[in-house]
Structure 1
């Protein structure tokens, strides 16, 4: 078997001893860094091209590099085990790199650089060295990250073409329009291209729903707009509800009021002027300025601001007493609601919302739908909630195939229009294919007929001028499957009997709670945030012990649990494959990959750090982990958060086919209707069964809104 040195000697006889040794050292010390033939070509390809001059072209050099790579690969497998370890260990690579720079043989070759008669381009020698050194540094950095458990996250970037006219108008300050037109822009996340040559037109006063599969870049696009990486006219104010409010001693109501910076500034100035007058330090101009301030405060209706802020907070679930609590006393979920309240109160020209319903209960979602229907400026919202988009959106922007397509109407209108567009596109494509085939038959028939030569040429030109239509690209169907438990057993399966529970005795969460479920159950639990839904799930699982009463569970019951905060259960610094191997040892990598593939985490996604996955992809990893032991009963707390609509539909179908019991907490109306046969409402320290299902519950909430003046 020829070694890589033999291949070099045979293919490049013009290589003198020093230069051959130089190339050999590059290849030898870089063995562990070359992950493909391309890596090897990048390291020495240009140098070898320079050596061979006109005798070999680029394809020849690539073919030789491929043979060298294979030879090196075979040599690696034939090395003694201890030598293999030395070659593959990151610490040894760094030592090789260090010694490589001062090796005498390399110093000898470096003398060639000073010799102007050398047949090798000096710059290419330097380039080969630099490439190898860069690759070794990157590898060392990767190994260091693995050893320390740190993950370096990729960053998003955007680029956009702009005309001189647009730049001139923007810089002159004459652009007074609140419409947003962003044309011919690209968005990338690390090395992945999310959008290319895209266009986004947002008309003022319209409410846009941004939809698309998980991981395609919806959240990244919002961040690019919020950070003005994409050019939005400078006079247009933008608010992106992304992070929770930082906790401090500011009361919740005051935190919302502070968003109106003009009002706050005027009130502060009024206070300072009155203090100056009271202290007798005024110069007489204070009264005139106070008059101007009072006029401006009246103009912006400053006196009505506290009432407006209070209505927004109440709609989002903040009771009157909670509005006076300091922000540091709230949990992360409530601080996210507070961030949303601040944005609604501030009324920016462009409001960016990313899954706003994830943090809300059904009652707050219904209120938000009503509130946004009268929103005066522009909204761009990412949401998986079909009912929410149907109620709020006036337009839909569909992200797919690295581009954006706009549709008028709500989500249901979008589905109908999209289906019609796809049918028309397929019909046009098929008609053109038939026409092409008809012309091609004529060309093939008379290609060698001299009398028809001019007609054949005419037909060929006609074919060339036809626009290239593409067939419809069908989205791959999302399929989830929950493996059935192997045992069937008789009820009772799971019961809470006369349960009393509290975290502090003066605030009982449940009193005399009695509920039960079996292997045929499809139960949905709803209720306001803080009513005890998650606490009840933990009592059912046995994670919390009741203060009073008894929990009964069948001895063969095996529960699979999906937490509302499922990301907290995942180790973000390792890959999904490593995650399953760590949790369920003893299986092959192929088995772990198959399990993840069942939930849409396949190929490169399975070996990337979990931290780099989108929210929906992390949820899929959590599903794969939850179902690995094949439970016969599932308890799911907000399982639809972060999932795209197609995956939510697939999740609903999978739960309906599952031969076991299901209890879930959800705020997604369509999902509840798709899965659940029984509705429990958590309220007032107990659970009430709603006989009329979700329709009855919705009617109850709307009646409450009317009584409270929200509708």
Structure 2
């Protein structure tokens, strides 16, 4: 177990833990929570050994293996699979020992080295790594891509996969959900539920903490307070404690009354739709923890919009995507991500935008926000539309060398040039006061934005949006760097906002609390999603299962699979079945297409079958060798058998790689 007894922990002159004590038992899954700056990351540094206690006693079992996500951005030409495999420190050590043993004539050492390599799971390490990579949202075609070919967010996903690959007794995860979309988040939750070691996780995602943790450790005023239960249970217990503190509770009454007023108002307005009912439940939870919310040191509100055009926006046959690169040859077409969108955005709507990563959620929002031009069709804006846009990457709307005050001064000039008057003071002192409402006080208003934390940048973007007094809010992952208290403040502000909200987020608590309806961006289009987030989670799991079964079918029957693809491209009648018009010509065309696909697939299929036969032979030989190693043998015989086991494993690994390449070739042939 891990024990802290009267531990004092300092960073420079600041005391983060003051005579703090707590015990964490083996196998517990602990959520570490507290305000920003309370000391969560410093406690992590104590747990992983990079920081030492300034007083008291700290104990962690010496034999415990530790897994954690490296914070630096990986720079390597290694394939994604090889990079993640190297996260298995036990395997890497066993491989090093095999190389060292092979350089000697010590048969006994070689025998032990081969056995350790086998015990470390060398035979299935690539498959285990690829399961992690695919679970975190990568495509099968990306498994062998070099790490450097991925963007920063995807590289951090590979760092997370590498940490999960490491055999560990203690797993430390600091904001693991920041770079994940909802489908990868659902997969990670399921993986962590199966994890058998001790988990300590810092996260500002309430539903993630609720799903994964069974203990909550709260850092408060230099103390560690342990609560049995997940984050929601912690909130309930803490709210009860605060309610008993009558002096503090008395000061909160005005804020609680204000909170209760909007809870009652929105519960009365909610319809019978599943999404709205989900929102009512979220508001009821806020009702229970009102004392805790009222105690938060940060809150804000959106001003009432000057006008509410209806519809706010109309999309007719709209297509969204990206123009060709500047250095692309003349005539290069744009990249279309989403097309044929016919939808309207009405005054007062609260729309959650769902969809797997890469389907086009951010592209849709960027186009509505005027950051991208539509590729085709029409986007018609209502008269007086005033957009407040929170970009997923804050630096898309911030300048790293400018200060918060310079951002506000520039915003005043830009809105004045557009003839918009937001009824706000525009003197420097007025702007300083406004920034102070978002916790930018004193010298912070003249600090370069590039040196600020992610949470501070996010607060500055919110500050600028509030000042603009928008009637349409476009929010693309607004909570990525916000702590739980600021997320609650955002949730309350959005619930009181009188305008329209379009929200992309993997924070399910925020989606539940704010959205009355959902749009699903999938398969190149946008359609209404008739259900709540629980239905969407089931949809994701069903979709993943369908894709796995579809891939399995295509590998078994490539010709049949190509036939299905050909048929799915054929014209359909009103009932969704094949049209009987021009049937003879259509049948001839289908037959020709099937024959072409079959001709292309035949040699690949033959090689694939040969691979599978050889893999089966090697698997049987591997089982025989392992059985031999389980019997008493002389050291020389063990070494020789171990060498053969390694050779079989290497050949099997090479065949598995070729098998993957061939299956991808069959997929590409089917899609040709």
Please give the range of the TM-score, normalised by the shorter of the 2 chains: 0.5 to 0.7
Report whether the alignment pairs 1:698 with 2:537: yes
Give the structure 2 partner of residue 662 of structure 1. 501
Report whether the alignment pairs 1:203 with 2:21: no
Distance 1:612 1:187 in 2: 23
Distance 2:316 2:44 in 1: 45
Aligned with 1:266 (options 94, 104, 108)? 94
Report whether the alignment pairs 1:510 with 2:338: yes
Report whether the alignment pairs 1:653 with 2:496: no
In the superposition, the TM-score normalised over structure 1's length comes to 0.62
Give the structure 1 partner of residue 268 of structure 2. none
Distance 1:428 1:582 in 2: 41
Q: 1:218 to 1:554 in 2, by over 3 A?
A: same
Report whether the alignment pairs 1:332 with 2:152: yes
The structure with more radius of gyration? 1
Give the structure 2 partner of residue 28 of structure 1. none
* Aligned-pair CA distance for 1:252: 0.6
Aligned with 1:675 (options 492, 495, 514)? 514
Unaligned runs of 5+ in 1: 1-177, 277-282, 431-471
Report whether the alignment pairs 1:642 with 2:476: no
Contact 2:69 2:162 in 1 (8 A): no
Distance 1:224 1:584 in 2: 46
Contact 1:245 1:338 in 2 (8 A): no
* Aligned-pair CA distance for 1:681: 1.8
Distance 1:482 1:619 in 2: 15
Cα-to-partner distance string for 1:658-698 (whole Å, 9 max, x where unaligned): 22221111011111011111212222211221111323211
Aligned with 1:366 (options 156, 167, 186)? 186
Report whether the alignment pairs 1:317 with 2:137: yes
Contact 1:185 1:197 in 2 (8 A): yes
Give the structure 2 partner of residue 543 of structure 1. 371
Cα-to-partner distance string for 1:607-649 (whole Å, 9 max, x where unaligned): 5554565432331121112222222211111011122223222
Distance 2:449 2:48 in 1: 25
Aligned with 2:433 (options 594, 600, 607)? 594
Give the structure 2 partner of residue 187 of structure 1. 10
Give the structure 2 partner of residue 615 of structure 1. 454
Give the structure 1 partner of residue 464 of structure 2. 625
Give the structure 2 partner of residue 341 of structure 1. 161
Q: What secondary structure sits across from 2:50 in the alignment?
A: coil
**Could you tell which deviates more after superposition, 239-248 or 353-362?**
239-248
Q: 1:700 to 1:580 in 2, by over 3 A?
A: same
Contact 1:252 1:322 in 2 (8 A): yes
In the superposition, the TM-score normalised over structure 2's length comes to 0.65
Q: What secondary structure sits across from 1:599 in the alignment?
A: coil
Contact 2:318 2:375 in 1 (8 A): no
Q: What secondary structure sits across from 1:359 in the alignment?
A: coil
* Aligned-pair CA distance for 1:287: 5.2
Cα-to-partner distance string for 1:385-443 (whole Å, 9 max, x where unaligned): 1111111112111122232211111112212222333345659999xxxxxxxxxxxxx
Report whether the alignment pairs 1:412 with 2:251: no
Distance 1:252 1:696 in 2: 32
Q: How is 1:59-458 mapped onto 2 (pairs within 5 angstroms)?
A: 178-181=1-4, 183-188=6-11, 192-226=14-48, 228-230=50-52, 233=60, 235-267=63-95, 270=98, 285=105, 288-423=108-243
* Aligned-pair CA distance for 1:491: 2.1
Q: 1:242 to 1:223 in 2, by over 3 A?
A: farther
Distance 2:512 2:41 in 1: 27
Contact 2:178 2:480 in 1 (8 A): yes
Q: What secondary structure sits across from 1:584 in the alignment?
A: helix
Contact 2:293 2:488 in 1 (8 A): no
Distance 1:372 1:497 in 2: 43
RMSD between aligned alpha carbons? 3.3
* Aligned-pair CA distance for 1:224: 4.8
Q: What secondary structure sits across from 1:356 in the alignment?
A: coil
Distance 1:679 1:427 in 2: 43
* Aligned-pair CA distance for 1:289: 4.2
Q: What secondary structure sits across from 1:516 in the alignment?
A: strand
Distance 1:408 1:480 in 2: 32
Unaligned runs of 5+ in 2: 54-58, 251-291, 325-332, 414-424, 550-672
**Could you tell which deviates more after superposition, 475-484 or 573-582?**
573-582
Distance 2:216 2:230 in 1: 6
Aligned length: 484
Q: What secondary structure sits across from 1:688 in the alignment?
A: strand
Q: 1:381 to 1:182 in 2, by over 3 A?
A: farther
Q: What secondary structure sits across from 1:348 in the alignment?
A: coil
Cα-to-partner distance string for 1:449-475 (whole Å, 9 max, x where unaligned): xxxxxxxxxxxxxxxxxxxxxxx9972
Q: How is 1:453-468 mapped onto 2 (pairs within 5 angstroms)?
A: none
Contact 1:194 1:216 in 2 (8 A): yes
Give the structure 1 partner of residue 392 of structure 2. 564
Distance 2:465 2:248 in 1: 46
Distance 2:249 2:151 in 1: 55
